[in-house]
Amino acid sequence: MNLKIGVIKGDGIGPEIVTEAMKVLDKVGEVYGHTLDYDQLLMGGASIDVHGVPLTDDTIRRAKECDAVLMGSIGGDAKTSPWYQLEPDKRPEAGLLKIRKALNLFANLRPAVLYEELKGACPLKEEITEGGFDMMIMRELTGGLYFGERRTVEENGVMTAYDSLTYNENEIRRIAKRAFDIAMKRRRKVTSVDKANVLDSSRLWRKVVEEVAGEYPEVTLEHMLVDNCAMQLVKDPKQFDVILTENMFGDILSDEASMVTGSIGMLASASLNETKFGLYEPSGGSAPDIAGKGIANPIATILSAAMMLRFSFDLDAEADAIEKAVADVLREGWRTIDIMSDGKSQVGTEKMGDLIAAHIA
Ligand code: NAD
């Protein structure tokens, strides 16, 4: 198969961690007989340095010509970087918002996996985490409260602020379908999270999700109120497979779920649109505090590349091979500094990439 992949190395640790993910992808290509065709794209601070803006229209055009985009992270130290002297719409992060909009990326996927080998980093009790857990949070990314009408007005001498939470049935249907499709590749369970006891938008959400569930008889659907879900994530995280939820609930729950897994350097993510196209990136930022030191953990980016193979290219065996290689390397005791613990062997970014690539067979 020929895979055309846009690569945005980005800023800070971005180039270091993306280089390792490409090393692993190249090894997958070699072992499984795929041709990888990379188009290196500039975004964020790296684009500001060359073009004066964080994302050019030409870069968007080239990204659209790719089957998927693999990204590091963008941005610098807000206190010291000259990029933050610019107007807000010219700063590195503006590129991220612009590309998400231009590519219509409405579904954000964040896996929260607790590896047996890293369970020491999990703040939950051992009896809860025994055997690890593996869930996927699917958050709607372009609607809801963050994109609704808002205003602040003075009413009868009292300052009053309004934010509106709006979803139409089409927006709900397209993300629900995505969640059920992904559940079909996993343990076939969707937990749809809402606040249907209070909110009209949640009642519509529930109705549409139930309609979509009718098209997926092999998938079990359950509904859960968001307050209960926040509790269940720390009480019994093993019960979840795919969690489907709207923008703000997903923002909060995905952070909660990722915290219970341990290090930010392990957290992959994907943003998808209605086609097979996706933007794949680690959940963390550009970590300017450790950039250039060769110590950043590349695993989140490598696991994001595995998600890319699974969701944009339907290469499940290849994605499984990467995930297994990561688990094997961890089991053998290799650790970057952020996940280091007593008795383990500390390695840098490049060595971690070498080890994972070497385990792809
Ligand atoms: P950050 O995620 O970059 O760093 C937070 C902490 O986690 C730091 O101590 C860092 O060293 C550590 N860390 C992050 N990734 C790591 C990795 N792979 N291995 C080891 N340690 C890692 O968050 P921040 O410091 O708040 O933000 C730094 C910059 O990143 C800012 O400019 C911010 O806007 C940007 N940012 C970009 C994205 C993105 O590109 N999607 C996301 C979040 C933040």
pLDDT 10s per residue in the chain (361 long)?
A: 999 999 999 999 999 999 999 999 999 999 999 999 999 999 999 999 999 999 999 999 999 999 999 999 999 999 999 999 999 889 999 998 899 889 999 999 999 999 888 888 788 998 998 888 999 999 999 999 988 999 999 999 999 999 999 999 999 999 999 999 999 999 999 999 999 999 999 999 999 999 999 999 999 999 999 999 999 999 999 999 999 999 999 999 998 988 888 778 899 999 999 999 999 999 989 999 999 999 999 999 999 999 999 999 999 999 999 999 999 999 999 999 999 989 999 999 999 999 999 999 8
152 and 190 within one domain? yes
Q: Is the CB of 339 under 6 A from ligand 1?
A: no
Determine the structural domain holding residue 45 and report its residue range: 1-108+267-361
Which tokens sit at 26? 């190249």
In a domain, 47, yes or no: yes
In a domain, 240, yes or no: yes
In a domain, 113, yes or no: no
* Residue environment code for 54-88, b if the CB has 16+ CB neighbours within 10 A, otherwise e: bbbeebbebbeebbbbbbbbbbbeeeebebbebee
273 and 253 within one domain? no
Residue 175 in marked binding region: no
134 is catalytic: no
163 and 88 within one domain? no
Strands of 268-272's sheet, edge to edge? 35-41, 2-10, 68-73, 278-282, 268-272, 107-114, 133-140, 242-245, 189-194, 220-225
152 C-alpha vs ligand 1 centroid, how far in Å?
Answer: 32
Say how many domains are in the chain: 2
Integer Cα distance of 290 and 302 in angstroms:
18
Q: What is the CATH number of the domain that holds 102?
A: 3.40.718.10
Contact (Cβ atoms closer than 8 angstroms) between residue 47 and residue 59:
yes
213 and 149 within one domain? yes
Contact (Cβ atoms closer than 8 angstroms) between residue 253 and residue 226:
yes
Given this model, what pLDDT does residue 261 score? 83
Residue 104 DSSP label: T
- How far CA 164 is from CA of 197, 309, 336, in Å, comes to 18, 37, 44
- How far CA 305 is from CA of 97, 222, 280, in Å, comes to 21, 30, 7
| Residue for token pair 């280089």 | 19
271 and 246 within one domain? no
The ligand 1 atom at the shortest distance from the C-alpha of residue 288 is 28
Contact (Cβ atoms closer than 8 angstroms) between residue 189 and residue 158:
no
Given this model, what pLDDT does residue 191 score? 98
In a domain, 115, yes or no: no
H or E, element range at 101: helix 92-102
Integer Cα distance of 129 and 116 in angstroms:
8
67 is catalytic: no
85 C-alpha vs ligand 1 centroid, how far in Å?
Answer: 20
Q: Is the CB of 242 under 6 A from ligand 1?
A: no
Closest CA to 71 of 110, 17, 35, 124: 17
Given this model, what pLDDT does residue 122 score? 86
208 and 274 within one domain? no
Residue 291 in marked binding region: yes
| Residue for token pair 């188009």 | 39
101 is catalytic: no
The ligand 1 atom at the shortest distance from the C-alpha of residue 74 is 40
89 and 10 within one domain? yes
195 is catalytic: yes
Q: Is the CB of 14 under 6 A from ligand 1?
A: no
104 and 140 within one domain? no
Mutate to test the pocket of ligand 1, among 74, 141, 264 (most ligand atoms within 8 A of CB): 264
The residue out of 260, 295, 311 marking a domain boundary is 260
319 and 252 within one domain? no
In a domain, 318, yes or no: yes
Closest residue (by CA) to atom 10 of ligand 1?
287
Contact (Cβ atoms closer than 8 angstroms) between residue 330 and residue 117:
yes
The residue out of 211, 243, 260 marking a domain boundary is 260
207 and 166 within one domain? yes
The residue out of 209, 242, 260 marking a domain boundary is 260
198 and 167 within one domain? yes
Sign of CA dihedral 113, 115, 121, 122: positive
In a domain, 118, yes or no: no
- Which of 181, 251, 328, 354 is an active site residue? 251
Contacts of 228 (CB under 8 A, 6+ apart): none
285 C-alpha vs ligand 1 centroid, how far in Å?
Answer: 3
Q: Is the CB of 201 under 6 A from ligand 1?
A: no
Given this model, what pLDDT does residue 120 score? 81
In a domain, 117, yes or no: no
Contacts of 36 (CB under 8 A, 6+ apart): 3, 5, 25, 26, 29
Closest residue (by CA) to atom 38 of ligand 1?
285
251 and 172 within one domain? yes
Integer Cα distance of 259 and 247 in angstroms:
18
Closest residue (by CA) to atom 42 of ligand 1?
285
Which tokens sit at 193? 């999270």
Which tokens sit at 320? 């499984």
Q: Is the CB of 54 under 6 A from ligand 1?
A: no
Given this model, what pLDDT does residue 265 score? 84
pTM assigned to the model:
0.92
- Which of 194, 195, 216, 280 is an active site residue? 195
In a domain, 155, yes or no: yes
Mutate to test the pocket of ligand 1, among 73, 96, 269, 349 (most ligand atoms within 8 A of CB): 73
